[in-house]
Structure 1
Amino acid sequence: MKDARLSKTVAMGIMGICTLYFLVPIWWLFVGATKDRGDFSNTAGLWFADFHLGDNLHDLFTYRDGVFLRWMLNSVLYTGGAALLGTLLAAMCGYALAKYSFPGRETIFNIVLGGVLVPATALALPLFLIFSQLNATNTFWSVFLPSLVNPFGVYLARIYATASVPDELLEAARLDGSGEVRTFFTVSSKLMFPAFITIFLFHFVAVWNNFLLPLIMLGNERLFPVTLGLYTWNSQVNQLPELRMLVITGALISIIPLVIAFLLLQRFWRNGLGAGAIK
């Protein structure tokens, strides 16, 4: 009994430490965004001084004709479109690998698994050279198209489709005259919906936080996502000290879409994890 209680206490202590590890930087960011430049440098980092969040937001949204809002819009377009289309492509590929037998199926799946292991940094330069040959660098598509690929999503979709979509159900749909595409969208997609949400969230976070690919591909500031835009401001802080508070406030605003996406979809995500664990 004592050993069980001790194990529970240790586990709760580790979870508490991990929670603080993740939440303290967010708290520091929020507190920092409420200060002016003087208070930010001269007051405690984890507690409030004079509340200037409204002024900081106004400065952020009006600086250089609202370029930060343009960056946020770019990030929404890059991330929203890539996450939606990438989730659909990954789900269809994973479903096909799980439910259809064809020559080379396992080879293709092993190649997909290999793609999961390849770091994004190793792909950035080859992608740049390919898009350079096509004269497509410094365009929306040079960031959007590579972001559609999601090998980890294909892996998750195959595992979930194998566990959640019965072969008997597919056979019944075929006997009723349903085509393969129609069966996927009307029958299988409903059973795989929790997996779709999980893949979407992973893909959304990955594309939103993507930094290296836009850094290599883009030179036009108007095409920057918010991650690259804030980086360019932060690199100029020594020459333009007023940018420091814009970077802090902009970083706080930039995480809000991630928080909203997770809060709206966490119910489906938890259900999907629970269903996968049971199966």
Structure 2
Amino acid sequence: MTLKYKTLVTAVLAVIAVYFLIPVYWLIVAYTKSSADLFGSFGLWFSHPSPIANLKTLFSYQHGIYLRWTLNSVLYAGVGSAAATLLAAAAGYGMAKFRFTGRKTAFNLILAGVLIPSTALTLPLYLLLSQFDMANSYWALLLPSMVSPFGVYLCRIYAAAAVPDELMEAARLDGAGEFRVFATVGLRIMTPALVTIFLFQFVGIWNNYFLPLIMLSDPHLFPITLGLTTWQSFASRDPILYQLTVGGAFVSVIPLMIMMVILQRFWKTGITQGSVKE
């Protein structure tokens, strides 16, 4: 590879990096501004920055409703992704390591579930949960979030390639039951895949907007996504909501950034390991 070619590739990658980082930079700059400065100053530079004051206003507005939305998002994303990961691990492990009638049919149905857009299932889910008086409740978001067809698919592929049958048989000979074999052998070996599923599911639930929009009507149950959209819809009447919406969007991405930094080594491993059987 010539020096000229390396320089060209580096320049192209630098342009792409700037393209993706400019919105993040704008969000940071806009977070420090007042509502007036958002529209009366240059968008890509600071103007009378007051990040601490903006943060206090964000968490005190409407008796601290944004903090409630944040806790709701943590509950929905944390509990939903953890439950979805465990259920996907159990289902994928069972399909990979046990032979039973209808196994291929069940796996094909799961593959079909991966291809169906989640938005297409929102209205049927609302009608179903309404029959059980679960609409406009925490369960209305938690129950759908606990299902991850992609997670089952990934766990099935990963378990088939990475969990040795010999190791499972050795555990059985030592007196371990099937549940203990799964908990002590399967889950430990499948950790990279489980972290991958947890991360994908957490980000998906955290950023989900359409499902809360259909399911919830009580503002105290809103996640951050729906709450900020509500603020934005009233910003023309109360201009301070423009700044609060921008500030809330900035704060909402911080947990995702922290998770990406902490889990990225597991995430990278989880994508590649198990894809090729030795």
Q: TM-score, normalised by structure 1?
A: 0.94
Task: State the partner residue of 1:94.
Answer: 92
CA distance in 2, matches of 1:182, 1:277: 25
Task: State the partner residue of 2:108.
Answer: 110
CA distance in 1, matches of 2:118, 2:41: 39
- State the Cα distance separating 1:89 from its structure 2 match: 0.4
Q: Which region of structure 1 is more displaced relative to structure 2, 211-220 or 8-17? A: 8-17
In structure 2, relative to structure 1, the CA distance for the partners of 1:276 and 1:46 (3 Å cut) is farther
- State the Cα distance separating 1:15 from its structure 2 match: 3.5
Say which SS state the counterpart of residue 245 (structure 2) adopts: helix
CA distance in 1, matches of 2:190, 2:40: 53
Q: What do the CA deviations read for 1:240-278 (whole angstroms, capped 9, x no partner)?
A: 111000000000001111111111111222233343466
Say which SS state the counterpart of residue 168 (structure 2) adopts: helix
Q: Match of 2:101, as an amino acid?
A: P
Q: Match of 2:161, as an amino acid?
A: A
In structure 2, relative to structure 1, the CA distance for the partners of 1:179 and 1:15 (3 Å cut) is farther
1:261 aligns with 2:259: yes
- State the Cα distance separating 1:42 from its structure 2 match: 1.8
Task: State the partner residue of 1:174.
Answer: 172
Q: What are the within-5 Å matches in structure 2 for residues 145-224 of structure 1? A: 145-224=143-222
Q: Match of 1:92, as an amino acid?
A: A
- State the Cα distance separating 1:10 from its structure 2 match: 5.3
- State the Cα distance separating 1:12 from its structure 2 match: 3.9
Say which SS state the counterpart of residue 273 (structure 2) adopts: helix
Task: State the partner residue of 2:71.
Answer: 73
Q: What are the within-5 Å matches in structure 2 for residues 21-32 of structure 1? A: 21-32=19-30
Structure 1 residue corresponding to 2:14, chosen from 13, 16, 36: 16
CA distance in 2, matches of 1:11, 1:215: 43
CA distance in 2, matches of 1:69, 1:163: 43
Q: Match of 2:260, as an amino acid?
A: F
- State the Cα distance separating 1:47 from its structure 2 match: 1.4
Q: Match of 2:188, as an amino acid?
A: K
Q: Match of 1:201, as an amino acid?
A: L
CA distance in 2, matches of 1:261, 1:161: 24
Please list every run of 5 or more consecutive structure 2 residues that lacks an aligned counterpart in the other structure. none
- State the Cα distance separating 1:41 from its structure 2 match: 1.0
Residues 66, 224 of structure 2: 8 Å contact kept: yes
In structure 2, relative to structure 1, the CA distance for the partners of 1:229 and 1:159 (3 Å cut) is same
In structure 2, relative to structure 1, the CA distance for the partners of 1:101 and 1:278 (3 Å cut) is closer
Q: Match of 1:81, as an amino acid?
A: V
1:33 aligns with 2:47: no
CA distance in 2, matches of 1:93, 1:175: 24
In structure 2, relative to structure 1, the CA distance for the partners of 1:278 and 1:105 (3 Å cut) is closer
CA distance in 1, matches of 2:10, 2:274: 25
Q: What do the CA deviations read for 1:117-141 (whole angstroms, capped 9, x no partner)?
A: 1111110110111111112111110
In structure 2, relative to structure 1, the CA distance for the partners of 1:124 and 1:190 (3 Å cut) is same
CA distance in 2, matches of 1:14, 1:147: 39
Q: Match of 1:266, as an amino acid?
A: Q
Task: State the partner residue of 1:52.
Answer: 50
Q: TM-score, normalised by structure 2?
A: 0.95
Q: Match of 2:113, as an amino acid?
A: G
RMSD: 1.6
Residues 78, 202 of structure 2: 8 Å contact kept: yes
Please list every run of 5 or more consecutive structure 1 residues that lacks an aligned counterpart in the other structure. none
